[in-house]
Chain A
């Protein structure tokens, strides 16, 4: 079974600075996908970025980038130039090829301060 670990305590980030959110995962399956979602206080889950286990390059989507270190089984999210609207919970998740069940970590709370 997949396991996702997010252990950082809540973080305060200065506006316009970058923030890195840690995520480690555990699976014996070589074929998987890693996802990051944002959950603002309204509760909806917003997809941010995806990294496949066979992708050679780190994924990027606008201000979001994923630092994928396969050997270390880590998939850290980097948010550059933080904005006040980035204040939210951030969840790392994983699913396996052939099975789209997402396994989630417990999340990281980020508060961006002006």
Chain B
């Protein structure tokens, strides 16, 4: 069975500083990997996804993530954060194109002015 770990439950960072949100997964088979963002009182929005190919994936709002198969990681990065990036971020995995999505517990990113 797949599982997702997000070790950092809360990450405070100053505005315009870089940030990395960590994600590790476990799976006995190849999976698709995702990062979602959830703003307060809203649903989930897809930031980016890794399906295959290049291990560096670029998403919306200036975010990118790197897939590392040997370390089973899929860390999310942004070189310079804005106040508007304050939100909950979820890493997720999916085994096939029609399978359920398994989410991590989430990381709360707080951008400090």
Are the chains A and B members of one assembly?
Answer: no
Interface residues of A (CB under 8 A from B): none
- Residue numbers of B with Cβ under 8 A of A are none
